Amino acid sequence: MEENTVKSNKKIFISLSVILVCFLLDRLSKIYIIEYFMTNDVDNLYINNILNLSLIWNKGIAFGFFQSENFLYEFISLLIFLIILVIIYLIWKSQLILEVLFYSMVVGGATGNFFDRIYYKAVPDFIDFHYGNFHWFTFNISDICISIGIVFLLIFDIFKINKSDTDLV
């Protein structure tokens, strides 16, 4: 019984730590960018030939799809909240450290963007990559956490990483 308690405490510590780090990195970066752009009355900050910082208010979902200001916005927000709860359940059920880590990254990022949806009624995106005529969608730190978590969950699943190597023991 004691071994299960240690595993459970370790999982909770890892999960909450990763969620908190992702959420705080996202919040701090957004607060800084919003404050910087408002204080300096700019809407674009040139960094180099492939990176700008451009404050965009996203009222849709990933990559700005389904932009909306009505019932659809509230429905999407509710759906995101429910997905966060499902992923928290998956964290709780998982016995694999890598799954806990990657699910927690997704929850940390999703929670950051969900907070913005409630607080600002939009998600501030500001990282703007481009090369020549190719222009990627503007995104934020939460999007990076979500993307990394999902990519590694897919890799983990596709390659069927040996479960004994990633146990919480």
Condensed to tens digits (0 to 9), the pLDDT of residues 69-89 reads 677 778 888 999 999 999 999
Helix or strand or coil: residue 74?
helix
Asked whether the beta carbons of 11 and 100 are under 8 A apart, the reply is yes
Contacts of 123 (CB under 8 A, 6+ apart): 57, 58, 59, 113, 116, 117, 140, 142
Asked whether the beta carbons of 23 and 112 are under 8 A apart, the reply is yes
Asked whether the beta carbons of 154 and 106 are under 8 A apart, the reply is no
Q: What is the pTM of this model?
A: 0.86
Partnered with residue 130 across adjacent β-strands are 135
pLDDT at 168 over 70: no
* Cα dihedral value 78, 155, 168, 19, nearest 10: -40
Q: What residue type is assigned to position 33 of the chain?
A: I
Calpha distance 20→8 (Å, rounded) = 18
Calpha distance 122→115 (Å, rounded) = 9
Calpha distance 35→41 (Å, rounded) = 10
- List, by residue number, the catalytic residues: 125, 143
Residues 90-109 have a mean pLDDT of: 94
Q: How many CB atoms lie within 10 A of CB 130?
A: 13
pLDDT in tens, 31-64: 999 999 999 999 899 999 999 999 999 886 655 5
